[in-house]
């Protein structure tokens, strides 16, 4: 690796895989960890201190559902004491009254609240949890009452893509400062459910028009971030800002990875915090260095003028579709197998027409059990 190695500035901490919802689009691995494999409070606090020493400026506290950790306030306070910005990524279901305010008092900076649908029936069907929509609305109210900024996160797929206008109005009604229209990325449980989740191209194109119009209309009122769907893209996104370039994630058991789906690259071995320090893993881990920078790239990436824009795109997507984590991301129009993305879309839609997966009856719901990911 010849490129200058900079310190990381961001970290995703998956505190637990436990969750009251069973969303079929979840990016967690299909082999979910039980509570007895989670790092304890003191180990997380030690890890967070090392992250701050390493240069991390913001930590996204995620899961599963991070509020199922009884020590969440203590973890937030530990990060706040080091001046690290904290963002809680939550499903907003089952949070006790007063908990949000307690987290704010501990130093929490921001809440990102996910909605499976803009309508109650959709939220409850996708999350497989009755009454969850109203609980989310109440959580949003408590976030605002605690004086915390709010982001509404809308994971988009075939079963809610027509609700994008309603998501925009929902976020406005809740006083959200930001709305994230996040088209589902196909890893983990989402990859298992790809045929049941994939939208058609016409719906995606309508979505883009709606989002662009809303961005213009709501400029200065609410920010709308749009995560484009890779399968419909011309060029790939820089995954996590580029493989091990400025961010990393930690799984509930302390395994440190460049991104949430990196475990799908079976040829790499990822190290656990405690066996080595964060600094050693960030700097010296063979897995972190495997696709860092541009030296690993094959053609056409190696000579492409976008190589330091998208940093090769998603290595996990290359693994899932091309069977080679070093291949050009198939989302890129320059990939020799780019056409395979369109074929996968058509295959998914054909399967949906054949087996009825235009409704939710074919979902493989997220549960603590082993499910083999397709290749």
**What is the per-residue pLDDT for 252?**
98
Could you read off the pLDDT of 131-177 as tens digits, one per residue? 999 999 999 999 999 999 999 999 999 999 999 999 999 999 999 99
Could you read off the pLDDT of 258-296 as tens digits, one per residue? 999 999 999 999 999 999 999 999 999 999 999 999 999
Rounded to an integer, what distance in angstroms lies between the CA atom of residue 316 and that of residue 329?
9
The verdict on whether residue 304 carries a ligand-binding annotation is no
CATH number of 10-232: 3.20.20.70
What is the model's pTM?
0.93
Q: Which residue has the tokens 């959580």?
A: 139
The verdict on whether residue 19 carries a ligand-binding annotation is yes
Mean pLDDT of the residues in the chain: 93
Domain boundaries defined on the chain: 10-232, 239-335
**What is the per-residue pLDDT for 370?**
42
**What is the per-residue pLDDT for 350?**
85
Tokens of 337: 């197998």
332-344: burial string, b at 16+ Cβ within 10 Å, e else: beebeebeebeeb
Model confidence band, residue 2 (pLDDT cutoffs 50, 70, 90)? very low
**Residue pair 365/24 in contact by the 8 Å Cβ criterion:** yes
**What is the per-residue pLDDT for 359?**
61
**What is the per-residue pLDDT for 352?**
72
- Residue 371 scores a pLDDT above 50: no
Model confidence band, residue 347 (pLDDT cutoffs 50, 70, 90)? confident
- Residue 224 scores a pLDDT above 70: yes
Give CA 13 to chain center in angstroms: 11
- Residue 1 scores a pLDDT above 50: no
The verdict on whether residue 23 carries a ligand-binding annotation is yes
Could you read off the pLDDT of 178-219 as tens digits, one per residue? 999 999 999 999 999 999 999 999 999 999 999 999 999 999
- Residue 130 scores a pLDDT above 90: yes
């Amino acid at each position: 690796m010849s490129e200058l190695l900079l310190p990381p500035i961001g970290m995703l901490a998956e505190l637990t895989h436990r969750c009251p919802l069973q969303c079929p689009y979840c990016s967690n691995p299909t082999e979910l960890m039980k509570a007895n494999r989670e790092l304890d409070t003191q180990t997380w606090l030690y890890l967070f201190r090392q992250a701050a020493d390493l240069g991390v400026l913001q930590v996204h506290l995620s899961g599963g559902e991070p509020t199922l950790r009884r020590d969440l306030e203590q973890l937030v306070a530990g990060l706040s004491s080091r001046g690290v910005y904290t963002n809680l990524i939550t499903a907003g279901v089952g949070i006790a009254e007063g908990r949000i305010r307690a987290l704010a008092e501990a130093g929490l900076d921001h809440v990102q609240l996910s909605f499976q649908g803009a309508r109650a029936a959709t939220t409850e069907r996708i999350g497989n949890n009755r009454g969850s929509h109203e609980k989310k609305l109440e959580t949003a109210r408590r976030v605002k009452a605690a004086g915390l900024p709010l982001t509404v996160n809308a994971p988009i797929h075939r079963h809610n893509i027509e609700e994008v206008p309603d998501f925009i109005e929902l976020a406005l009604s809740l006083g959200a400062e930001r709305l994230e229209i996040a088209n589902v990325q196909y890893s983990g449980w989402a990859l298992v459910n790809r045929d049941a989740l994939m939208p058609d191209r016409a719906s995606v194109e309508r979505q883009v028009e709606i989002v662009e119009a809303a961005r213009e209309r709501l400029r200065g009122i609410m920010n709308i971030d749009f995560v484009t769907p890779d399968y419909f893209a011309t060029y790939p996104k820089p995954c996590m800002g580029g493989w091990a370039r400025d961010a990393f994630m930690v799984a509930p058991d302390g395994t440190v990875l460049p991104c949430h789906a990196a475990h799908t690259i079976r040829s790499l071995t990822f190290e656990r915090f405690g066996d080595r320090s964060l600094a050693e893993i960030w700097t010296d881990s063979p897995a972190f260095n495997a696709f860092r920078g541009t030296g690993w790239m094959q053609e056409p990436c190696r000579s492409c003028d976008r190589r330091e824009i998208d940093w090769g795109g998603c290595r996990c997507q290359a693994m899932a579709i091309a069977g080679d984590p070093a291949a050009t991301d198939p989302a890129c129009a320059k990939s020799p197998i780019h056409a395979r993305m369109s074929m996968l879309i058509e295959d998914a839609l054909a399967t949906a027409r054949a087996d009825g997966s235009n409704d939710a009856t074919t979902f493989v719901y997220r549960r603590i059990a082993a499910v083999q990911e397709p290749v």
